[in-house]
Structure 1
Amino acid sequence: MSEADFKLQADPQFRADVLAGLKGPRRAIPARWFYDERGSQLFDDITHLPEYYPTRTETDLLKDCRAEFAKHIPAGAAVVEFGAGSATKTPLLLEAIRPDIYIPVDISGDYLRMSAEVLAGQFPDLTIRPVEADFSQDMHLPTDKPSEARLGFFPGSTIGNFVPRSSVDLLRHMRGHLGQGAMLLIGFDRIKPVEILLPAYDDAAGVTAAFNLNLLVRINRELDGNIPVEAFSHQVQWNDREARIEMHLRCAWDVQFTVSGKEFQIQAGESIHTENSHKFDLRSLRILLRAGGWTPVAEYSDAQEWFTLVLAEAAPFYNAP
C-alpha cells in the first residue's frame, strides 16, 4: 500500500476531531488519538517509569485483593476490558476469577492483537476474542451466551481522561453494553500532592513528552499534515479548580501548516490541549459511579490512599412514567 493510499484510509473520525480541534481559539484534540502503535508502545513504557506511580499502585492492589474479587464475581463470567492496551494487569484478574471468555476492547488494533496473543499463551484454555473499537462508541460484544454474567474491567483510572459529563455518558454506555446483573471493576487515581502528580506526567527521561509529541507525528503521517513538530514542546500543569492534570503541546514560535488540505496558524505561546487526567476523592468517585448507573459494592485502596479500585454492580434501569 502506498503512502497516499494509507492517508486516504485514515480514520474519518480522527480527521474530523483533529480538524475541529485545531480551529481554536481553545485548541484541543481528544486523548484517544494518542494510541497508534507507536503511542501505545510509548504509554506502555511510561507505566514502567519510576515517576509513574498509578500502574505500580494499582497492580499491587490487584495482587492483594484477588481473593476478595472472587467472592463477589460469579464463576465463569465474561470479562470485557475497555481500553485493554497491553493488558499487563489483566492476568492478575483472570487468575483470580477464571472467566469463560475474555473480550479485550481497544482502538489500537495491532497492539490489541499482539497483547491478545501473549495472553493466549498464558491462558491456553481461555476463549479470547479481541474487539478493535472505540469503546466510547457503539460496538458488538461477541459473547457466546447472551445471558452469561459479565464483568467490565476498566483499570488505570482511564475514566479520569474524560470530562465529568462525558465520563457519566461513558459509564452509562458501558452499563448498556454489559447489561442487567453486570459488574464493573474500575480504577480511580486519587487526589494527592502536586509534587507527586506532576512528575508522573513529566518524567525526567522525556518518555511522556515523546508520547505527547507523537500525536503530531501521527497527524502528519495519516492526515497529510506538515506540522513543524520541533516548534512544540510538552507541558504539564495542575488545574486545582477541576482537580485534574492537563497535558498541552506548547508552541514556541509562530507557525503555519496544513492538515488534510486545511490551513492553520498557531501563535507563539499558544497550545493544543491533548489530555486531562482527573483525580478523585472517595465522595466524587461514588457520585460519578452512581450518576453513570453503577452502585458501588466494594472499595479497595492502598495504605497511602493514592489509588482506589471499586467493584460496582449495574443499577436497575427505570422507565419513566
Structure 2
Amino acid sequence: MPKENDEKVIPTVILYDDRGLQLFDQITYIDEYYLTNCEIDILNKHVDQLTEYIASGSCIIELGAGSLRKTQIILNSLEKKRKNITYYALDLMEQELNKSLSSLGTFSNIKLVGLCGTYEDGIDFLATLPNDKQKTIMWLGSSIGNSNREEGARFIRRIQEKAMNPGDMFLIGIDRRNNPEKIATAYNDPQGITAEFIMNGLDHLNVIFDQQFINRNNFDYFATYNEDEGRHEAYYRSKQDQVLEFLVPNDINKTKIKINLKEDELIRIEYSYKYNKAETIKLFDETRLANLESWSDSEFQYGLHLIYKPPFFFTRTQESKGSVPTVEEWQEVWKAWDTVSLSMIPLDKMHSKPIYLRHPFIFYIGHIPSFLDINLAKHFHEKFTEPEHFASIFERGIDPDIDDPSKCNPHSIVPDQWPNLSSILEFKNKVRKRLLNVYDAYKDKPIPRSLGRVLWMTFEHEAMHLETFFYMLMQIDYILPPKGVIIPKFRPAVNEAQDAKLLTIPTQTITIGHDDNEDLDDSDPLDLPFGWDNERPSRKVTVQSFKIHSRPVTNKEYLDYMKINIYQNYPLSWIPVDHSSFEYNVRTIFGPVDMDVAMNWPVLLSQEQAKSYAEWKKMRLPTEEELRCFYDTYPQNPNLDSNIGFAHWHPIDVPLDNSIHGIGNAWAWTSTKFDEYPGFTKSKLYPGYSSDFFDGKHNVILGGSWATHPCLTRRTFRNWYQRSYPYVFSSVVLCQA
C-alpha cells in the first residue's frame, strides 16, 4: 500500500477487474454520471465534423476502450463516409474486450482488432505502426482525470514522443470544473453503484494478494470534491481502529506486514481531476500538441478536443531555461524553417518574387543561415563558412520605400543570379552544425555574456523572419499546404461579434523598455530577457486617461465601412471575388476562405487603412504608450490566452462576448512614429537594426500575431513597419477621439 506524504494510497488499477469493469459500465448509464452523456451529446451533434479529419486508410487506437458505446457513433460515421479504417480497441480484460467488440456488429470498411493490455502495452504497439500510416489515438471518458495534472501531461507527452508522427491526431475527453454539488453527485449516485464499484476494489485486492488481507465490512466509501484543486477525491474510510496484516507474497521468510489504521482514517483510492480553460491549454502546450477543434456539450459541462502533433512546436507556457536559447529551442525554429521553405513552395518557384518589394524566396533561405554564420564568425574572429561569398550577398535584404521604390535601405549586393537551392541547403546544414559545436564547447562551463547576446540576437532574427516569410507566402496562389500540418475545416461563424466595449484607462505612469546593457563585459551576468537597441534604456512615461476598444476591428466591420463609403481600398489580406459588389474572400496559408468564416477575425491591414477607418468612426489609433497601458491594465496570460506561435495557423475569432482581447492573433498598429528617443544608442552588434528606419515613414506596432514566436511577445519588444505596408499581420484597436 504506497504512501504519498504519509497518506495511505491504494492504486486505482485494483478497481478494474471483470466485475469492476461491469460496474463501471453500469455507472456510465446513470443520469447523475453526466460525463458519458455529455460525450454522447457531443458526438451525436458533431461526429461528422470530427470524422472529416480522419483520413481513409488510417488507423484508430482507443485507450481503455470499455463498452464502446461512444465509439460506435464514431465508427458509424466513418462507415457512412466509406472510409477504410483499422480500429484497435485496447483494454485490460480480454473477456470484456471481446464482448464489447462483438456488440459493434459488422462493417464493410472498418476492420476491428482487439488489443489486451495496459496503456504502456498500447504505447509500445503504437510505436510499431508504419510511419506513413496516419494514427488517431482516442482517450475518452475524461480518463486523464485519474492522473494528477503533471502525470497526465507526462503520459500524453510520452505517447507524442514515442508513438506519434507529425499529422497524427489525439482525441481526448476532458471534464470541466463544474458545480461542486453536480460533481459530488456524479461520483456518489443515489443507487449506490459507484460505492459498490469502489468497494469491489477491496475484494479484488484480496484476490491479488491471494489472502484475506482486508475486510470490506470494516470500511465505507467516502467521497468529496476539492474545489481548490479542481478534483473529486475518493477514499476508503476505516470504520474503527484496526490492524491490517498480510504475508509478503513469495517470501520464504514469511514476512508479515502490519498496517495500523485509526477510526475515520482515509485511504485514497482515486482522484478525478477537472480542467478549466487555462489548465486545458496548458496541458496541450506541455504535451506539445496543437488544438485542431474542440466541441462542448449542450450545457458546456464537458469538452471533447481533437489535437495533433505538428511538425514543430513553440512552447508557450515555459520560458527558456537559462541565459541563452536552448538547443531544443533552436531545433524547433529550424524545423519550422524547413517546414515552411521546403514543403510550402514548389521547387520551380524558389527564384520567384512573391512581393515586388522584396527579394525572391531563395534569398531568405540563404539569408537565415548567413546571418547566423556572419555573427558567429565575427564573435570568434574566424572565417565565414564556405562558400564565403554567401556573406556578401545574403547578409541583408532590401526594404524599399513603398512610395518611391528607388530608395532603399542599406543592403547586400544583389547578384545577377542567385545560388541554387541545393548549395544553400548544404551551406545551411554546415552553419547549423557550427552552432551546435558552440553549444558543445560550452556544455560544461557558462556561456560568456558577449556570446550569449549573439545567440539571442541570431535566434530572435530567425524567429522574426519566419513570420515575415509568411507575409510573402500569404500573397501567392501556388502555396502548398505545410507538411505534417492538419488543414483546419473552416466553418462559417454562427454569431457576429458584439460591438466592442469602450474601456476607460486611468491616468498612470508606466515604464517603457528595460535596461539590458550591451556595454557590460563577460564578467557581468547576461541579463534576461535579451533586448534590441530600441528596447533600452527604460524610461518612465505618464499617460493621461483615455478610452479604448476592448478588441480589434473585425473583417466584417471593415467590410461594412467599405460598403457604406463605396470605399475601394481593400486590405491585401483579402481577395476580391466581385470587387464592384464588395464580395471578398480572406487569405489564409491554406487558401482563401469565405468572409462568412472570417467575419470575426481581426482585419489585417496597413496603418493608413487603419487610420482611415478610425477617422470614419470618429476615433483614432492609440499611441504606443496608450496601447502598452491597455495591455498592462487588462493583462492576459500571453502564453495561454493568445493566438501566437502557430497555436493556430491563421487568425481566430475575437471574443464574441465583449471580453478583452489582448496580445495575439494580430499585431496592433499605433500612431507612434518609429524614431530616435532620448537615451537611444545604436547596437554595436547590429548598428543598423533600428536606426536605418528612423525615416518618419515607419510606425510602431505592438503585441504579436498567430505567426509570432513567443519570445517576441515580451512586454518590451517593439516592431515597426511603413505606414502604407499592406502585408503585415497587423490589425487596429481604436481609441476615443
TM-score category of the 2 structures, normalised to the smaller one: 0.7 to 0.9
Question: 2 CA distance for matches of 1:87 and 1:268?
Answer: 41
Letter in 1 for 2:208: E
Q: Does 1:135 align with 2:119?
A: yes
Deviations 1:23-54 (A, max 9, x none): 98301123233111010000000001121111
The alpha-carbon distance between structure 1 residues 183 and 50, as it changes in their structure 2 partners (threshold 3 A), is same
Instruction: Name the structure 2 match of 1:126.
Output: 110
- Which of 134, 137, 146 is residue 152 of structure 1 equivalent to? 137
- Which of 126, 150, 167 is residue 181 of structure 1 equivalent to? 167
Instruction: Name the structure 1 match of 2:445.
Output: none
Question: 2 CA distance for matches of 1:124 and 1:232?
Answer: 51
Instruction: Name the structure 2 match of 1:257.
Output: 244
Instruction: Name the structure 1 match of 2:75.
Output: 94
Letter in 2 for 1:123: F
- In the alignment, structure 1 segments of 5+ residues that lack a partner are 1-18
Question: 1 CA distance for matches of 2:112 and 2:247?
Answer: 37
Higher mean C-alpha deviation, range 45-54 or range 24-33: 24-33
Instruction: Name the structure 2 match of 1:83.
Output: 64
Deviations 1:113-159 (A, max 9, x none): 2212323x243653222222221465324977442111011111111
The alpha-carbon distance between structure 1 residues 35 and 133, as it changes in their structure 2 partners (threshold 3 A), is same
Letter in 1 for 2:286: A
The alpha-carbon distance between structure 1 residues 54 and 257, as it changes in their structure 2 partners (threshold 3 A), is same
Contact kept, 8 Å, 2:145 with 2:174, in 1: the verdict is yes
Instruction: Name the structure 2 match of 1:236.
Output: 223
Higher mean C-alpha deviation, range 289-298 or range 28-37: 28-37
1:181-260 residue pairs with structure 2 within 5 A?
181-226=167-212, 227-260=214-247
The alpha-carbon distance between structure 1 residues 74 and 186, as it changes in their structure 2 partners (threshold 3 A), is same
- Which of 271, 276, 282 is residue 271 of structure 2 equivalent to? 276
Question: 2 CA distance for matches of 1:298 and 1:26?
Answer: 39
Question: 2 CA distance for matches of 1:76 and 1:189?
Answer: 31
Aligned to 2:57, what secondary structure does the other structure show?
Answer: coil
Contact kept, 8 Å, 1:85 with 1:108, in 2: the verdict is no
Letter in 1 for 2:267: I
Question: 2 CA distance for matches of 1:259 and 1:62?
Answer: 47
- Which of 100, 117, 129 is residue 115 of structure 1 equivalent to? 100
Per the TM alignment, residue 258 of structure 1 is displaced from its structure 2 partner at its CA by: 2.7
Instruction: Name the structure 2 match of 1:37.
Output: 18
Contact kept, 8 Å, 2:180 with 2:227, in 1: the verdict is no
Contact kept, 8 Å, 2:42 with 2:296, in 1: the verdict is yes
- Which of 298, 308, 313 is residue 308 of structure 2 equivalent to? 313
> In proportion to residue count, which structure has more strand?
1
Per the TM alignment, residue 317 of structure 1 is displaced from its structure 2 partner at its CA by: 6.0
Question: 2 CA distance for matches of 1:236 and 1:302?
Answer: 26
User: If you compute each CA radius of gyration, which structure gives the higher value, 1 or 2?
Assistant: 2
Q: Does 1:20 align with 2:9?
A: no
Contact kept, 8 Å, 1:225 with 1:257, in 2: the verdict is no
* CA RMSD across the alignment: 2.1
Contact kept, 8 Å, 1:79 with 1:99, in 2: the verdict is no
Of structures 1 and 2, the one scoring higher in RCO (CA 8 A, sep 6+) is 1
Letter in 2 for 1:109: E
Letter in 2 for 1:220: N
TM-score by length of 1: 0.87
Contact kept, 8 Å, 1:78 with 1:143, in 2: the verdict is no
Question: 2 CA distance for matches of 1:79 and 1:189?
Answer: 22
Q: Does 1:104 align with 2:83?
A: no
Question: 1 CA distance for matches of 2:129 and 2:179?
Answer: 46
Per the TM alignment, residue 173 of structure 1 is displaced from its structure 2 partner at its CA by: 2.1
Per the TM alignment, residue 246 of structure 1 is displaced from its structure 2 partner at its CA by: 0.6
Instruction: Name the structure 2 match of 1:294.
Output: 289
Deviations 1:136-191 (A, max 9, x none): 46532497744211101111111111101110111112212233320011111111
Contact kept, 8 Å, 1:257 with 1:264, in 2: the verdict is yes
TM-score by length of 2: 0.39
The alpha-carbon distance between structure 1 residues 142 and 241, as it changes in their structure 2 partners (threshold 3 A), is closer
Aligned to 2:8, what secondary structure does the other structure show?
Answer: coil
Per the TM alignment, residue 238 of structure 1 is displaced from its structure 2 partner at its CA by: 0.9
Instruction: Name the structure 2 match of 1:9.
Output: none
Question: 2 CA distance for matches of 1:76 and 1:63?
Answer: 24
- Which of 150, 155, 164 is residue 149 of structure 2 equivalent to? 164
Aligned to 2:9, what secondary structure does the other structure show?
Answer: coil
Question: 1 CA distance for matches of 2:163 and 2:129?
Answer: 15
Contact kept, 8 Å, 1:171 with 1:289, in 2: the verdict is no
- In the alignment, structure 2 segments of 5+ residues that lack a partner are 249-256, 314-326, 329-435, 437-737
